[in-house]
Amino acid sequence: MTKCTTPAEVVPAAIVEEAWQQVGASFERFCLTAGIATLAGMMEADATRLCGVRYGRDDGKDGHRWGRTKGQLGFHGGKVALERPRVRARDGGELPLPSWEAAMAEDWLGKWALNLMLINVSTRKFGRAVRLPEGDVPAQDGAGLSKSAASRRFVALSAERMKEWMASDLSQLDLLVIQIDGIHIEEDLMLLGAVGVDGAGGKHSLGVIEGATENATVAQALLDNLIERGLDPKVCRLFIIDGAKALTKAIRKTFGRHTPIQRCQVHKARNILERLPKPLHASVRRVLRQAWELDDADKAERLIRNLARRLEQQAPGVAASILEGLDEILTVIRLGLPAELRRSLACTNIIENMMGTVRRVCRNVKRWQDASMALRWTSAAMLEAAKGFRRLKAYKQLSALRTALAAHQAKHATDTAVEPTAKAA
């Protein structure tokens, strides 16, 4: 048998040098070759540390060489073949190579799949997205670039991250504001999500839950999940919703009947204007905007009531709609918040923007198999949206909201204590 006299560490360097000479033709090939050569050198060093030098007779080592085997390593969203040495322990077991274990530990393939699908790359185009069509890095059968392989990785990683997110601790978040809104997936499937704003103006995706409709039971399940994860129900917070009565019912049941709730003024104005003839749109919009910009809640209420009386003849149904939920429309004004902060908290824009990201991410889904699939996609999209969250514009005025909430809680705590005394008398 002819003995190989070429040292193992010389081969990777020669390969890298050859690839560098051709770097102008294929930089991708150079990066792959250099990476494989570096990892091969590291694995050879691990084998030497465990077994001693090749062809040596060092009985003091933990193992001995057991030939070589082929493995696959993640590269550009797929897999590339790589040979590695095998090491057997003296008692017969397989000894792992630390460098190989570290290279395999990171789920690069799953991250590639998740990232590309979040930016709307379809599974059918996954292979082209991670490898240049004219590139010379081979994509052989079993390289992990098929649509089914990409889908399996996305399912596994998105499910893992959703489970971790929905169990995350909320007790350390100083939340002052919580916005809740739903998104309809199919006829009998909708998802209810929540976003919070902390005392420094930071925004946080809090959770999501599925249901058939946006009813009180689904809303209660979402709130129960938040409380189980550390949200203190005794702390007074401002809740912002789109006007669904089921949400109001669940919030007041969970956090108290005096919990401040702000209905979205944008939704309210849109619902009113959609029921009016176009000639009335400008005047009604002007009155509503004028009322919402007032600093006095009583004056704002009188202005809106006058508008409702004026519309009783032309649109009696709309007049009643204007007065419905009037107290909740003016909550931010009654709390005495500064005008800039009121503009940020008088609508559900924060969670609406996040739901826009959900719709963009999910637009390639043509058929929802079940609720778990919708939850995985929506959770991945909400976490993706959270990466782009910016601090609330009026974050410097959030101290005024904290003070107002404390005063509101103290006032109604006193009222609640007085009520039993009055009944007893």
Query: pLDDT band at 5, cuts 50/70/90?
Result: very low
Strand order through the sheet with 63-75: 63-75, 78-89, 94-95
CB atoms within 10 A of CB 63: 19
Give CA–CA dist 347/177, Å, rounded: 12
More confident site: 261 or 78: 261
Reference 359, options 191, 138, 239, 177; nearest CA is 191
- Inter-CA distances, 261 with 134, 208, 209, 347, Å: 58, 20, 21, 11
Give CA–CA dist 360/357, Å, rounded: 5
CA angle 85, 87, 89 (to 5 degrees): 180
Percentage of the chain beyond pLDDT 90 is 48
Query: pLDDT band at 98, cuts 50/70/90?
Result: confident
Q: What is the residue whose two structure tokens read 């809104």?
A: 181
- On average, the pLDDT of the chain sits at 82
Mean pLDDT is lowest, of 70-84, 216-230, 279-293, for 70-84
Give CA–CA dist 47/51, Å, rounded: 6
pLDDT, average across residues 387-397: 93
Query: pLDDT band at 209, cuts 50/70/90?
Result: very high
- Three-state DSSP at 210 gives strand
CA angle 408, 410, 414 (to 5 degrees): 115
Reference 260, options 409, 397, 402, 399; nearest CA is 409
**Per-residue model confidence (pLDDT) at position 9:** 46
CA torsion sign, 208 to 212 to 216 to 221? negative
DSSP 2: P
Tokens representing 2 are 């002819």
Q: What is the residue whose two structure tokens read 């009222």?
A: 415
**Residue 248, amino acid:** T
Most confident of 12-26, 108-122, 149-163, 272-286: 272-286
- Inter-CA distances, 295 with 155, 331, 416, Å: 50, 11, 27
The model's pTM is 0.76
Tokens representing 240 are 């912002």
DSSP 52-103: -STT---TTSSEEEEEEEEEEEEETTEEEEEEEEEEEETTSPEEPPHHHHHH
How many residues can be counted in the chain? 425
pLDDT, average across residues 112-141: 64
